[in-house]
Structure 1
Amino acid sequence: MKYRPAIMSASLGRAWLHNLDHKIEQAAEAGFKGIEIFYEDLEYAARNISGHDSPSSEHVLLAADHVHEVCQAQGLEIIGLQPFLFYEGLKDRDQQARLIEKMKDWLQIAKRLDTTIIQIPANFLPAEQLTDDLDIIAADLRQVADMGAAESPVVRFAYENLCWSTYIDTWEKAWDVVRIVDRPNFGMCLDTFNIAGRVWADPTVAAGKAPNADNDLIKSMQRLVKEVDVSKVFYIQVVDAERMEPPLVHGHPFHVDGQPARMSWSRNARTFMYEEDRGAYLPSEDVAKAIIFGLGYEGYISMELFSRTMAELGEHVPNQHAKRGIVSWRKLRQRLQLE
């Protein structure tokens, strides 16, 4: 086995609208072999267990036990728990200390889920709340890495640049952080949307792409193949997005004052790969090829999605998203001739 398809629980529908057990069942029925568990899904499951809007840590652990049982029954491996948000580089060190306490809970949740990966997206709080000092950012992340290393089995952390993150918005910057953290259980999640969405695309312009986009992406992928240690790539996500017509600026339905355009774009208008009928246009396949063939990555390939379609009502929504995701996976497998 070299490659197996996975999907995020959140990719199948919104937590507050669609039952997690149903989403898991639909993922398995479609043919997925793994699933990323979104923490918000666990919280909603814990609310159902507890009957309270603010479930206790123990109720979240009970929800994790239940989710693990359902996934086992459906033949799905839980490849990771995500996202541990707004952690590294905080100027408010009291909040950083509170999040360390929260991480203790997450490590127990991961154990109950029987997964060994926690994903940390690069911080996207406002710049005035964060430092751009890579040594401080790396020290914060090294602290949680050491916590994970003390667990049995060891918990690994997959750090992901988001194309709208405040400072760590490219794979290059994320790789710099990984190298400075310098822990065997601290690596990366590489996402085709967040890579292409930063170096190649621009949702705020009519062309949908940055000046010199094609050449810049080629050079970026050449650097990735040359510089990144594939053993530090813990898993990958492949996803595309709609071209924004008109551009995503003030007056666009997705525009939110004070929110980065790429973040608004990501939350509303991602697509699965190859969904040209839905407006997909990113060079996501080129990024996937660089990671899979250039780096030699083997392992889970997660078909990730965030989209306004996930907020539609009805039990059919998880089924539709699972089917769309597996069609995307099969086309990727065929086009890249993956085992």
Structure 2
Amino acid sequence: MSDGDLRQLLLTKRVIVLCGAGGVGKTTTAAALGVAAARAGRKVLVLTIDPARRLAETMGLQESGTKPTPVPPERLFPHEPPGPGRLDVWMLDPRAVFERMVFRLAPSPDAARAIVEHRLYRFLSELVAGVQEYAAAEALDAFLSEHRYELILLDTPPSRHALDFLDAPGRLARFLDDRIVSLFAPERHARSGRLWHGAQAVVDRVLSGVFGTHFTHELRGFIGAFGGLFAGMRLHTERLRSRLASPDAGFLLVTSPETTSLHEAAWFREALAARGLPFAGYVLNRSWAHDDVLTAPEALLEHAKGDRHAESAVKALSRMATAEQSRSAAHLALLHRLAEHLPPGALAVAAPDTGAELEEFSGLVRLGDALSAG
């Protein structure tokens, strides 16, 4: 359907980010592509935000898991000897991600423990736990740095803020560093100047008057300990941007034939271009853009002559076939329009509506095989 090859994309990229409107099947597509890449021999991680319960059960995902869940080889290779590929799946747990970040960026394990064991840490981690974009950025950067996986597929939040995960760590670090640490932290973290010291003294009096001297001292100590992480947070924000703008990354836009979904896909493509991020192509999900539609059943009329009920059934089948062929033609035309003006190497592929097939993991295997076959 285009110059690109989805199987080649799965075999050569290090990270694939899936974007699109809500309800278009991004999570299912990410899971199916992960299955296909693992069956092709790669060590794969699928990072998902909040999969539907049915899909989570199909993939064997654990709720609130603190680490990725491995998919058993016998499920990946149901009718063949297991290959070298491996598939892990993780539903992002922002609190676990945040704790991993503390231990990764703190100057020592003791310093990290001092932060996570502080009673104020729970409040801060719960505050960050509501920011899916931050968790996605931190988790993706951490796994890329570990080199444990050859391919990571990231399922982004279903909104126009999906690309905000590129900015979330930097925003958090700048906010805490510039506005909180300097005002609330111990003096060694504060800015110089009489005006700023005066402002810090005012904040100190207010906090002490409201919360008491002991809590104010405890808060200053905690923010002071946290202050050492901010430089690392900003650094890994720039590193992640660089990685996602490199040829090792690709952004796939998942859409459905619905008009609103197509508009969202067009918006995402413009947003990727504005950020200088590599556009890998489209996946037209839940489509009838395929050739195996019902053939015209009129030939059956010859065998139904004289049987009024049989003739009525054949005519009903004919109406169904006509509607299906019309929908298939419309979706094929849409796929051709998506394939127009693609950059070199980008693709436009169709994925069928799997429906109840995803009750079983074998449905993901079949969908992954169909997608990777183009």
Structure (1/2) with the larger helix percentage: 2
TM-score (norm 2): 0.36
Larger Rg: 2
Greater RCO, CA 8 A, separation 6+: 2
